[in-house]
Amino acid sequence: MHAAIRSHPKAAFEISKGARRVLTLSEADVERHLDLGELLDGLEEGFRGLERGEVQAPSRPEITVPGKGFSLAMPAWRPGSPIAVKIVNVFDANLAFDVPNHLAMILLFAQDTGATLCVMDGTYITGVRTAASAVLSARMLARQDARVATIVGAGVQAREHLRLLPLVRGFDHINVCSLHMQEAERLAARHPLARAVRDVEAAVRESDVVCLATHSAEPVIQPHWIKPGTHVSSVGYHPPRGELPVALARGQRLFVETLDAFAPTPVGCAELAGLPRDKGTTLGAVALGRAPGRTSDAEITVYKAMGIAMEDMVAATLAYERALAQGGGGSMDW
């Protein structure tokens, strides 16, 4: 390097990192500092940023452990935010050992220097940001007079949907359906609007919003159960098929996070395999007014999620900034 443009008096070999303090946030810390209303608004702005091309989020590489599970790396960055990198490990057999089947860690790095800012648990974020994006789709696409919602599933995603749905519409009640009725009853007991329903078809037929939140390898509803004017969302991931009926995705207005949803798994969604990319409309295009959302009270709208790194970046940054402002979390030497 020419001496005239050197900006530091020391050579690289004379500089060491030394000990630096890094914020640490446990799962409980993250939940405490992540406001759900702010998350919904932050995700909508994040989708605008994706549509404007402001967010970098390269395809996620996968490591597969045969017979056990898989690990994904999910980085994302946009100007003004820390660089976020999530590692999420999905090992379904964990549930037999009272360990979540999705385990994640998120690292935040300074955008100016690349220095580590925060190490946080990503397990809670992985669950809540996926549900929040689906509920955001309901905020953007469901009829304003929607009064009945149904959640199909009684796992982590169903739990988070139940917390978030009342934030976007004034529902009279929310049905919770599951293959395991006792789990549906225990989940429904957590919210005054919720009720466990054994008959999935009856629950879906009366609903204005239907949220599929299962780990099913087969469709969990039938397209003809959906009444005109309903908004349907699906967050489940189980290739080579999945929980959302293909006919519903093909036959109705389809909305996605990004058009990568039409790529092969694990990047894209199994239920959208073979569909052309122009079949989908992104939430960002709707949020920016570049594409219409709901066009009539009778239209059926469908949102299929794949889970993207922008959502982790938004959620992690919100939790980090609030923890800094309130003095929460711990610290470690790095």
Domains annotated for the chain, with CATH where assigned, are 21-125+310-333 (3.30.1780.10), 137-307 (3.40.50.720)
Of 58-72, 111-125, 216-230, 314-328, which range is least confident?
Answer: 58-72
- Establish how many alpha carbons lie within 13 A of residue 266's alpha carbon, considering only the half-sphere containing its beta carbon: 16
Alpha carbon distance 254, 223 (integer Å): 14
- Amino acid identity for residue 246 in this structure: V
C-alpha 182: how far from chain center: 26
Strands, E assignment, 10-145: 21-25, 62-65, 69-76, 83-90, 102-109, 116-121
* Per-residue model confidence (pLDDT) at position 18: 87
* Per-residue model confidence (pLDDT) at position 3: 47
Given a cut of 70, whether residue 11 has pLDDT beyond it is: yes
Alpha carbon distance 184, 56 (integer Å): 39
* Per-residue model confidence (pLDDT) at position 7: 64
* Per-residue model confidence (pLDDT) at position 311: 98
* Per-residue model confidence (pLDDT) at position 6: 57
What mean pLDDT, rounded, does the chain reach? 95
Beta carbons within 8 Å of 257's beta carbon, 6+ residues apart: 47, 50, 133, 282, 283, 305, 306, 307, 308, 310, 311
- Token pair, residue 299, equals 């239209």
Greatest distance between any 2 Cα atoms in the chain: 76
The secondary structure of 90-153, three-state, reads: ECHHHHHHCCCCEEEEEEEECCCCCCEEEEEECHHHHHHHHHHHHHHHHHHHCCCCCCEEEEEC
Given a cut of 70, whether residue 2 has pLDDT beyond it is: no
- Predicted confidence band of residue 1 (pLDDT cuts 50, 70, 90): very low
What is the chain's alpha carbon radius of gyration, rounded to the nearest angstrom?
Answer: 21
* Share above pLDDT 90 across residues of the chain, in percent, rounded to a whole number: 88
Place of tokens 């711990």: 330
Strand-pair category, 62-65 with 69-76: antiparallel
Could you tell me the CA-to-CA distances from 89 to 69, 70, 208 in Å, in that order?
7, 6, 34
